Amino acid sequence: MLAKDLSYAQSSFSFMGSGQHRIIQDEETFETKYDPYKAVRDYIQNESKKAIGHMKSGATSRSVGCLNVYHSTEFNHFISKQDSYIYN
């Protein structure tokens, strides 16, 4: 399932520091203030609930809904806002 894969990717990138995006933490408590990987995962999961995909057979599919979200203009706009968290 796409949501599970996204969760694994989010966890591995943020934990290992392999991603390009900064995770914002409170300097004293180390509480996560903003995690762009989690934000993307949450965005796709929340929006896919609204965008259930319909297959040719007439059945519904959450995976197709996730793909519909992934290919949407709104998702591209959301992703572009994450660029401010990229570090070099």
Please compute the mean of the pLDDT values over residues 16-39 and round it to a whole number: 77
Tens-place pLDDT, residues 29-64: 888 888 888 888 899 888 888 877 777 887 877 777
Q: In the chain, how long is the greatest CA-to-CA distance? A: 54
Q: CA 60: distance to chain centroid?
A: 22
Backbone angles phi, psi at 56, to 5 degrees: -55, -30
Q: Which residue has the tokens 């793909």?
A: 67
pLDDT for position 65: 79
Q: In total, how many domains does the chain have?
A: 1
Q: Which domain holds residue 78?
A: 2-85
